[in-house]
Structure 1
């Protein structure tokens, strides 16, 4: 392998990436994705991430080690990012631990509200209270997405209008405004670029909330 293929790498960096089993093009791709440590890149790769998709995991605040643990638990990348954003951390459950039964109360409440049985079951499995879940379930929002949307401050009606899943929303808004302001700006009808520009001009999230209320 010609050293000229490692343009942009120091001798030490080249040796580390080669020792970790990366070809020059792959090493460059990981570095362009913001992963400068070949050990981290190897962990991300083990977890199923690529230089093109690792940003979703990173913006969920996940470390490569945590990503590997989610992978070992059989959790898909998108679901892992969503659960991580909601504060859940990957951990194994003992084989001797008995899974709690799904409470019948929430399912009955949702069925009485006219929610289809499969949707009601999904919300009950996810630990939702029946009354709390009704507006989200009525709009057929995935229970995991609903949990993250709610944590961000969206109402069920607002989340239904977003048009993307919760993780994609967080990814697209990353760095535009503080995460606690995303719901106010997004529900006011702005995209990340518009919101960042308005914020730079001195418009506050509270002012955006006024526009949000008018759109209800």
Structure 2
């Protein structure tokens, strides 16, 4: 695999030129430290690559800034790019096939002769592309970004913050449906709670959807929440009463929440 070189490096530009181009100081220093001139960093950023280490990996895989975005949208890694290339596929073909769910494999002899195949669109819908750019720009890896995209997450729904928790996108959607914030969900998941089980039990119990998160974060089980609501208490008031030695049930943050 032949690495794709950038233009000869004339030396790092002054830091103020980087910040004027939209890089914060810390990120600019990382690009400079990795040996990228400003124009190369701008090309990689336009292609959806926002970290110099990732740009170096893609460049070593033989992928240029102009070719990388369809591969990122397809959820590919530099290693995937190398494997597809070694099997005789162009970057565009590799992205197309990877997006279709194929794994790298040798071409069939008849395909090589005829060079015909059904094509899939190599671009995402506008809302999907916006979501992918938002995720990649926040530093989320391509594979994780693609998983969130496939799970139906779109721009403006907080996907970057949820992806940063390490929670898989389907469970993140379940926690979000309960009204939890990413940090709250991450704390519950770390304690062994499963999003789907928690969602089922709270909704099956009949706790109003808009109230479930406040009761859950306050440490109540669904049954405790129902009893407290019957007495006319809100989650906040029930938590205060319990802290004062009254109210419903012991505070806990275990998996049975």
Per the TM superposition, whether the score is higher than 0.5 is no
TM-score, with normalisation over the residues of structure 1? 0.43
Which of the pair is proportionally richer in helix?
1
Which is greater in Rg?
2
TM-score, with normalisation over the residues of structure 2? 0.37
